[in-house]
Amino acid sequence: MKNLLEKLHIDAVNAGACTGAGEWLTDPAGKVLVSYNPATGEPIAEITQATDTLYDQVVERAQKTFETWRTLPAPKRGLLIRDLGNALREVQEPLGELVTLEMGKIRVEGIGEVQEMIDICDFAMGLSRQLYGLTMHSERPAHRMYEQWHPLGVVGVITSFNFPVAVWAWNTAIAVVAGDPVVWKPSSSAPLTAIAVQHVANQVAADYGAAGVFNLVIGSGRTVGERMITDQRIPLVSFTGSVAMGRHVSETIARRLGRSILELGGNNAIIVTENADLDLAVPAILFGAVGTAGQRCTSTRRIIAHRQIVDHLVERLIAAYRQVRIGDPMLPETLMGPLVEESAVEEMLAALDAARTQGGEVVFGGGRLLERGRCFVEPAIVRMPQQTAIVQEETFAPILYVMAYETLDEAIAIHNGVLQGLSSAIFTTNLLEAEQFLSASGSDCGIANVNIGTSGAEIGGAFGGEKETGGGRESGSDAWKAYMRRQTNTLNWSRELPLAQGIKFG
């Protein structure tokens, strides 16, 4: 572990705020935050958290940087992000291992998360030459009408523990190309990954004289988080977290008429029809439900299977689950590591108790594995007679609820009958079923897939969902527009002054 931390410039005690290379900030009044390894319970390192004074110092620096960064042509800004992607390539393995060490996902997933960072940097580099505006025909003669997109301002990014570095990259690569400096408040459960990324970003920014473009403030949600969402100097905040906290963030920012991008809960389901290829469906369900120990926003939590095949599907899932190796997430043979903290274990056990009370049967797993550590559990499969109250809640743990249906209309109604709307999928070889699922009367989620699972979205598409998932979109497609301000321009190149709508005045 020591060698890994040294490679990434993680000290025993680390400053909790930064605005660039050589600009790590510490306030003696800052509280100490200890980062723990969830697999062993051992402390990894400490952070002196940012205070109100340091928060203001960081935001002021970001504001000052915005004044010059917004004037740099977007393709030049794209070069910085290109070099950030290249710098991340150089540390992909150790940074991915730090993700594993600090939050518990298996090593291959940790390294894959850093690959997402690299991918979005490549995407944003190309995007820097494609921040297109439209040209419209004016109704007035000798007039030209068009729209253009300008940088918005300082962007606040509040990330969660489950993707501690990728979500920062989704937002930051696009925001920086758009002309916006970023202030990052990472999860208190995974602060060391943020420090490691900040060191990489500092190195790249220094080469461009761009200190203040990448900024970091580590602190609790009650202090740093509240300051950020109430701060008029930050016109846009991207927040990833729970529905309850997202509602508070949204309401608070709306009161000051700011913008927010919300990535909240996802109670994701897969419909498995009688026409499904189970050789595709079973491994997709397994990865979706067990990957990252069920702690992805896109984790598969509900299976809605046709009554003709549900029993056989469950048998195959149980056989697949029995092969899941649980243990040290650094070992290559491990497929599931620990939950992030012991409270997540308690929430999982409480959900399973509620499922039993509501008529469910746990047909596989669901127990604690204390011999491996306090945060280790068995993934659970639960047969449910219907979509009860507990099934409609998102439990951030490897619980898979299985229900049966008779008609596809019924299956879609069950699928859409929850408050969340992030990711969804159907497994079928029937074109009509697939098209119905993707139609306006099908899945009500922001992501809808056919013959692939709910988890593992690519960066090229806009990522986000509907209903209590928050409606935000990050990453690809035209999600960049959220980080810029649109301006409509009309240019009169005549010597007349005609008014729109044919109005005569004077």
Catalytic residue annotation: 263, 297
Spatial strand order of the sheet with 380-383 comes to: 361-364, 380-383, 399-405, 300-306, 268-272, 423-427, 447-450
DSSP string, 367-416: -B-TTT-TT-B--EEEE-SS--TTTTS--SSSEEEEEEESSHHHHHHHHH
Q: Is 268:299 a contact under the CB 8 Å cutoff? A: yes
CA distance 7 to 26: 22
What tokens appear for 170 in the block?
């989704």
Q: Is 302:424 a contact under the CB 8 Å cutoff? A: no
Antiparallel, parallel or unpaired: β 420-421 and 466-467: antiparallel
Amino acid at 184: W
CA distance 332 to 147: 52
User: What 3-state DSSP class applies to 489?
Assistant: strand
Q: Is 104:50 a contact under the CB 8 Å cutoff? A: no
CA distance 266 to 335: 22
What tokens appear for 216 in the block?
């970091």
Q: Is 318:381 a contact under the CB 8 Å cutoff? A: yes
Q: Torsions phi, psi of 287, nearest 5?
A: -65, -40
Q: Is 219:147 a contact under the CB 8 Å cutoff? A: no
What tokens appear for 367 in the block?
């127990």
User: What 3-state DSSP class applies to 24?
Assistant: strand
Torsion over CA: 21, 26, 30, 34 (sign): positive
User: What 3-state DSSP class applies to 206?
Assistant: helix
Antiparallel, parallel or unpaired: β 17-18 and 13-15: unpaired
SS (H, E, C) 455-468: CCCCCCCEECCEEC
DSSP string, 238-297: EEES-HHHHHHHHHHHHHTT-EEEEE----EEEEE-TT--HHHHHHHHHHHHHGGGG-ST
**Cα Rg of the chain, angstroms:** 24
